[in-house]
Structure 1
Amino acid sequence: MPRKAVEQELSRDRILEVARHLFVTKGYRAISMRSIGQQLGYSHGSLYYHFKDKAELFSALVQDDFKRLGRLFEKVINQSPTDGMSKLEQVMLEFVSFGLNNPHHYEIMFMTRDEELLCYARAEQGRCLEMFSTIVRQSLHSQLRTEQERHHIPRSLFLSIHGFISFYIQDQVTFDEIKPAAAAHVRFLCRRALEEAAQSA
């Protein structure tokens, strides 16, 4: 099949979608380019028009997913607060929503244990944490008086949200199913962050 025809019929996004599901459900090492092609109904050679190998495909998955999460953060920051929540609360709730509504994305981004794969995720995780930390610092700038607070509080909030998402991903629930619990958790975390900052003042 000519390259142009393959590119038109088999999109990069479709390959990523199927590969993501297979990596999460079967494991990275158990999946080959051939098995991804079979799942798509194409020869594995068709995949090489988009990716040179499985590692490049996985790296593309990680980068695309983190970019998507980053765009969601930016969207919240650039819009007016709603529902009586602060922008920080909205960002944190958006993070929970992303994780629970996209569990396969989230597991690849934040729950990969394979050392070989962590090298693809670590840099993106770091950038995501720094973006989140910047949002926290901007939201709590007058309360965060020490360098330790500016480092510790954003990281603690991030890890607390990650723990919430990781717990509920196991139950395969959607964000809408546990939205009240998520909102309560976010309010609690923000209140605790403010209290801790006030105690250090």
Structure 2
Amino acid sequence: MSPRKSASQELTKEMIIKEARFQFLEKDFHQVSMRSIAKNLDCSHGALYYHFNNKAELFYAIIEDYFSTLNKLLEEVVHGPGENHEKLHDVFLRFIQFGLNHQSQYELMFMIRNTEVDSLSQEAANLSYQKFAQTVQSLTPKDLKVSNIYSAFIALHGFVAHYRKYVNRFEEAEEAAKLHVEFIIHALSTTAQL
């Protein structure tokens, strides 16, 4: 049996996050432990605590990265070429695309409920939703009610939740996604009288 690495032997946060990300995608939150992560990294579980206080903090670091990726995708659309109406369509479509192309990550971000991580993951979700709401508002010529933006978000989330595990990739549901996005935009324009 080989000796375990000590914390000083170049165990990095990135290495821990990479292994934990893999395990959280493969197993339920409760089935992943700091010991199982350490075992696969060939180090003591105590070495992990040098970088993370607990499993919940490690989980948060992972989903925070997923939310950052989603936010960057939406920012690319906003700062890219095109009219605002087209950008709004693309923002909604990109949200669905992210959810269906990254189903396990999306589940961790928006669908996992666990008392150990709810407050942390909810914080990341709230920040991401605020970014989404600001983006939607910035792309519409008239002010939308907060409830209408939230309804649009829930409609997008519902689409992803419905198709999750029924399709492997966004392309398999792309036509339905486009129709759904058009429906949401029409509903928003009707309520805002755009």
Normalised to the residue count of structure 1, the TM-score between the two structures is 0.82
Contact 1:6 1:46 (C-alpha < 8 Å) held by counterparts: no
Aligned to 1:117: 117
Aligned to 1:36: 37
* Count of aligned residue pairs for this structure pair: 190
Q: Shift of the alpha carbon at 1:23?
A: 2.8
Alignment of 1:11-160 (within 5 A): 11-81=12-82, 86-142=86-142, 144=143, 149-160=144-155
Contact 1:101 1:175 (C-alpha < 8 Å) held by counterparts: yes
Contact 2:7 2:48 (C-alpha < 8 Å) held by counterparts: no
Gapped runs of 5+ residues in structure 2? none
**Which has a greater percent of helix?**
1
- 2:19 and 2:101 map into 1 onto residues whose CA distance is 17
Normalised to the residue count of structure 2, the TM-score between the two structures is 0.84
Q: Shift of the alpha carbon at 1:65?
A: 1.5
Letter in 1 for 2:125: Q
Change (3 A) 1:18 1:140: same
For each residue in 1:132-161, what CA deviation from the matched residue of structure 2 results, as whole angstroms up to 9, or x when unmatched? 11111122232x3xxxx4212110110100
Aligned-residue CA RMSD (Å): 2.4
Gapped runs of 5+ residues in structure 1? none
Aligned to 2:170: 175
